[in-house]
Structure 1
Amino acid sequence: MNESPAQYPEKAAPLTTREKILAEALDLFSVRGYDAVSVRDIAGAVGIKESSLYNHFKNKQDIFDSIVREYSGRWEEIFSSLSLTGADRQIVVDERTVAMYKNMTNAQFAAIAGAIFDYYMTDALNVKLRRMLTIEQYGNEDIRALFRRISFDDSIDFQSRLFAALMDAGCFVRADPYILALEFFSPIFLIFYKYDNDPESLARAKALFSRHIGSFTATYGKTPEKEEGAQ
């Protein structure tokens, strides 16, 4: 009997020099900040001559701008993989989104929430980018606006619109959707910042996150008992 050859997972393609420069620069910027890192530091971390780095980037600012431009959109990939974006890869609230949430089981909702938690707390690139933007927001107005948008504004805006749609669909109790979004995210932001840079407490943070999601849904999700109480 002929046996088929063993199948091995494909190895990830090695990073190009340009990608190595971005990765090492992000490592340094996320710990020391932009001003405290030199081009020589970055070149040394990559293992190339300082002059060679200029074959790929004009200067340190060009490296920083490339990191922001190329890495800050990675959240769209995560939400797209969870079917939370439309055809244009933008997070949307439409009939499809509402139907998905309306028909979602507790296990499915927990899986989506868990995947988002893992991305924000354990995805190395996202964690480093968040730390870098946190450091640099105080000296750069554009970075401050970007940090607020991807860390707070986009999430709260999406959740507010989603809650409003779910209220209209009869899935949530009627309330101010923006305030409800703040009540939803405030404990999550607290968990993120309390346990950030503390990998030993990750399991505790995720358990607390899951308890918050369950408590919030139990409090604001519309049930027959709540309907009777409102009458």
Structure 2
Amino acid sequence: MSSTRERIILEALRLFAVKGYDGVSVRDIAGAVGVKESSLYKHFAGKQAIFEGIIGEFPKRYEKMTEELGISQTDPAQLAQHYAAMPEEALLTLGERLFLFFSEDEFASLLRRMLTMAQYSHPLAREVYRRLYLEGAIEFQSQLFRHMIGLGVFIEADPGSMAAQFYAPIWLMLGWSDLQTGGGEQALEALRSHIRQFSAVYAKGKGSI
């Protein structure tokens, strides 16, 4: 990715996250980047292409982050084995770092805000929003918990219900973190408490972490 293309994507994301997709023009994006519209069109065919570029950039950033955390496995069965072997404190730290990525990483947090607004008028945004934050997230966690039950880490329970009970409070915490100045530490404390409580309910023969 060229530096100009990268700047276009980031500045467009910043604008979309504040003004919404429909409230931003190509001229606005070019102005934020500091280039002429004609220069911008050398990199993207138009606003829709920039929007698609933003969405396409996120998986690369997410993959880089998960590689750094050592959890880049996309197979829920492999990931379940990895989690099952992790010490309890390491699991808590991992949960915090994942949460901080979505709440404090500029690209990840702005993408969430952009998609939250754009989902109501933009079909692609609605599809990506549901895949990243709703059905896709719940389905992946359901598979993960199903395998962890099979490994004897969790008691027998409905994996879909477990996923909803685990994920819904975290989604709420992300929104809470967005609205509170300096509320990051409070959100992390709530996250730690939530993970411990979830473990107290579902961990097999361990009580809570």
Q: Alpha-carbon deviations, 1:89-122, whole Å to 9, x = none? A: xx2122x433322222111101211111111111
Q: Aligned runs of 1:140-151 on 2, under 5 Å? A: 140-151=122-133
Correspondence 1:39 to 2:22? no
Q: Would you say the 8 A contact 2:81–2:148 is kept in 1?
A: no
TM-score (norm 1): 0.82
- Counterpart of 2:182 (choices 194, 200, 210) is 200
Match of 1:93 in 2: 76
Q: Which residue of 2 aligns with 1:125?
A: 107
Whole-angstrom CA distance in 2 between matches of 1:73 and 1:153: 21
The structure carrying a bigger helix percent of its residues is 2
Correspondence for 1:111: 93
Contact 2:155 / 2:204 at 8 angstroms: preserved in 1?
yes
Shift of 1:208: 0.5
Distance 1:196 1:29, change over 3 A: same
* Contact preservation (8 Å) 1:121, 1:192: yes
Aligned residues: 206
* 1:197 Cα offset (Å): 4.2
| CA displacement at 1:141 relative to structure 2 | 2.2
CA distance in 1, matches of 2:81, 2:101: 24
Indicate the residue corresponding to 1:165 in structure 2: 147
Separation (CA, whole Å) in 2 of partners of 1:29 and 1:146: 15
Contact in 1 for aligned 2:200/2:206 (Cα 8 Å)? no
Query: Contact 1:72/1:129 (CA < 8 Å) preserved in 2?
Result: no
Q: TM-score, normalised by structure 2?
A: 0.90
Q: Name the CA shift for 1:142/1:21 in 2 (closer, same or farther; >3 Å).
A: closer
**Identity in percent:** 39
CA RMSD of the aligned region, Å? 1.8
For structure 2, the residue ranges without an aligned partner over 5 or more in a row are none
Q: Return the match for 1:189 from 159, 171, 177.
A: 171
**One-letter amino acid matched to 2:67:** S
Alignment correspondent of 2:51: 64
2:199 corresponds in structure 1 to 217
Which residue in the other structure is 1:174 paired with? 156
